[in-house]
Structures are given as structure tokens and as C-alpha cells.
Amino acid sequence: MAIQNITMPQLGESVTEGTIEKWLVKPGDTVKKYDPLAEVVTDKVNAEIPSSFEGVITELLAEEGQTLPVGAIVCSIEIAGDSELPPPPPSKKSAVSTAILNAGVQKKQEAQPATTAPIVSQKAVRQDKIRYSPAVLRLAQEHDIALDQITGTGEGGRITRKDLMQLIEAGNIPTSQVETLPAVDTAVQQPTPVAAPASQELTKPSSPAQPIQAGDIEIPVTKVRRAIANNMMRSVHEVPHAWMMMEVDVTDLVAYRDSIKSEFKQKEGFNITYFAFFVKAVAQALKEFPMMNSMWAEDKIIQKHDINISIAVATDDALFVPVIKHADEKSIKGIAKEINELAVKVRAGKLAMDDIKGGTFTVNNTGAFGSVQSMGIINYPQAAILQVESIVKKPVVLPGGMFAARDIVNLCLSLDHRVLDGLVCGKFLNRVKEILEKTNKSSMSVY
């Protein structure tokens, strides 16, 4: 018999840790390969950890509410035989996705002794270098908890979600305070204020409790909605947003699409949408202006080689951003097909991790709701997002002074001003405009 360790997987790009929300097994349970072991929450996705092996759970090395870095061992399984089995494919039980696990070494890790309850310090402790998990920060904001007054039960005194829940339930919530020194000598220096952790400096202050009146409806915040909120807050706080808009005359494009849509639907089985034309135009322009396909990385800017277009797909209570990989290499038909397939997956709750990772630039079809002008929040860590607004009829002055009703669409670009400036963004938008205005039956084929 051999012991295999299951580790915390990386559940998305730039995700460095995950929180064990709920264990689905206990020591002594027999599990089969691919059986879910635990529910995990990150600031991007919610997922289940599937078993890489068939065997018996020997030990759970993480507690519910504990946040662990990617690669940390979460549990161990006793299996028959010594050969290591290959990792499983993604499970389809999760509404977003599950992760493919890498098994740890065949050695049982000794659990570190932990304090049974969090300790509220009598003296403020410097927390300059400590980073808190999204779950801990969220609870601290909601309940006005001074994290610098707590010594957690996690490794190295790390504060876990379970620590805060115990304090909240006990009503023992510490608030910020500054220790005063005894008046022994008038020359004694006053205490230096404790610096707030870097992660807290970027966090929105907790909102005051809102009064509930007759007829009000309380809607619990779902895990997906919380993940969306956290990512949007991070983008707004870290990224200096700038914005520009350009009008585009798509009269010829509209006529071309309308002339082929019925035949296309009958032949292919799905709709040829305006949005597919816009995604294709953006992908082509990104190839010509690769700086738009970049990301900020503190001491450098990473210009991405692949052009992977993220598209926003909404459900009644959530927003997902699946990715069209290598969009510049696909035809309009290929893009339209992938848009349709990804939208079906989102609404059926069958998106896999591979469907949402790798995006380098986002195009959002806000025009589907009738919007004519909007400012998008950048899909972190990308450098820009383009909002495609509703196509509307407008009177336009043509060469020679004649007026005519034309189909006009606004393209609204939000950009990360650390990476991009107005010059390159203006050239990029103008190129997208040029491609779209020249799209007609004679110049472009959807196949």
C-alpha cells in the first residue's frame, strides 16, 4: 500500500491560493478516481477538487475555511500498488470548472500543530508583510475586524476564515486601537502608527449596515457573484483606467449580414451574428497592433503572442468570460460557431477551466442590451476591453453634402494607462473602424 498526496491546484491564471470551503469526504472514506474531495473557493472561480486515485482517505491536512497556496498538500490517500496514476480530466459537476490535480510525493506529510482558537492580541502587532486571503479580507470588511489585533491558527500565525468565524460567533470582535505608553517621562516618543497591510490598502472600506424595511428583499451573495465583485474591485483599484470612443459606419456590414443570415442558419445550424464580425475585426487589428495584446507585470510589460479573445456571457445572476483561442486564425464562421458553443456551455453550467483561461483581450457585446455608450471595467490582468454598442440608424452627411440614414455603432475602449497610451489606442480603434466599414459581400467571406 502506498500513500499519495493531493495538492491545492492552480484554479486559474494569476491565482496563487485557494480556500477549502467544504470537505466532501472524511478519514476512512473510500473514494474512486475522479470523486470530488472538497469544494474550493478562489477570487476567480469556485471548483471541486477531484481525487486522482482510488483508495482510502487517510488524513485531511487542511481545515474548512483554511486558505492554502497552490501546491500545498490538502489530504492524503492510501492506494494499492506503488505506481503513480495519471491525473484526471476535469469533472463536470462544478458550475464553472474543476481542476486537474498534480499528485504530491508518495510521502505522508506531518500536520503542523495548530492553536485551537484564534488569539486576540493585547498589543498591536506589525502586519506590514502579511497577506490575507480574499475570504479573510471579505469577512474583516463586513464585520469591521481589526486583523492586526489577531494571531491566527494557521501556519506561522496566518489568519484563516475559520478564525474570524469563531470570533464573530463569540462576539469577541477586536477593533482598531493604538496602545498608549505609560506617562513615565515626558520625553518618551509617542508610538508610531501601525502601517496597514498592502493588500488592505487596495480594499474598499466596509459599508455600514443597511436598514431593512418592510417589503425589502435580502438576496444572498453567491460565490460566483462574490468572485466577480472581487475581480472588479481589484481591477478598479490597481488599474488606472482611461477611455475613448469611436463611431463606425457599418451600413455595408449590416446589409451583407442580413443578406446571408437565413441561408447561413439553414446550412450551419446556428446564427451568424454581428458580434462575430466585430470579434474578427478586433483580432485582425490586434495582430497589427500587438501592444494592445499586452499585460502589466510590475517591472515589465508582457506582450502576448497568442490572440485569445475573451467574450462576456451573462446569465440571470452571473457573468462569465470564456475565451476564443487564436481568434486571428479563425474565419467569421469559426468565430460565430465558437461564440454559440461557449454561450450554450455557460447557460448549461458546463464551462471547463480551459474555456475561461488564457484570454488576452476582451470584447463585450453591450449592444445586445440596447446600450449605445458605456465604459467597461478591464478584465484583469488584461490591458484593455472593447465595448461594442448597439447598431442604430443615424442621419449622416455624405460626400457632396447629401444626408442619408446610415447604420452607426459606437466602439468604446477602456485601457490600462500603465501599458497603453492614447496614440496606439487611437490607431488601433481606427484600424478596427476601417476593417468594419470595408466589410461587404465583395470584400469578405464568412467562410
Q: Which residues are catalytically annotated?
A: 417, 421
- 261-288 as b/e, with b when 16 or more CB fall inside 10 Å? eeebeeeeebebbbbbbbbbbbbebbee
CB 222 within 8 A of CB 409: no
Long-range contacts of 345-352 (CB under 8 A, 24+ apart): 346/313, 346/315, 346/320, 346/322, 347/313, 347/315, 349/95, 350/92, 351/95, 351/96, 351/97, 351/320, 351/322, 352/90, 352/92, 352/97
- Residue 410, classed as helix, strand or coil, is strand
What does residue 49 show for φ and ψ, rounded to 5 degrees? -90, 115
Spatial CA neighbour of 241 closest among 14, 360, 419, 429: 419
> What is the rounded distance in angstroms from the CA atom of residue 391 to the CA atom of residue 396?
14
CB 296 within 8 A of CB 419: yes
Long-range contacts of 262-269 (CB under 8 A, 24+ apart): 264/333, 264/446, 268/333, 268/337
Count Cβ atoms below 10 Å from residue 293 Cβ, excluding itself: 25
Question: Which residue(s) pair with 324 in the sheet?
Answer: 309
Residues 6+ apart with CB under 8 A from 82: 2, 106
Element holding 274 (H helix, E strand):
helix 274-288
Q: Quick one: how many helices (H) and strands (E) in the chain? A: 9, 21
CB 61 within 8 A of CB 109: yes
- In the DSSP assignment, the letter for residue 401 is S
> What is the rounded distance in angstroms from the CA atom of residue 178 to the CA atom of residue 329?
60
User: Are β-strands 119-120 and 150-151 bridged in parallel, bridged antiparallel, or unpaired?
Assistant: antiparallel
The three cell numbers of residue 351 are 464551462
- In the DSSP assignment, the letter for residue 373 is -
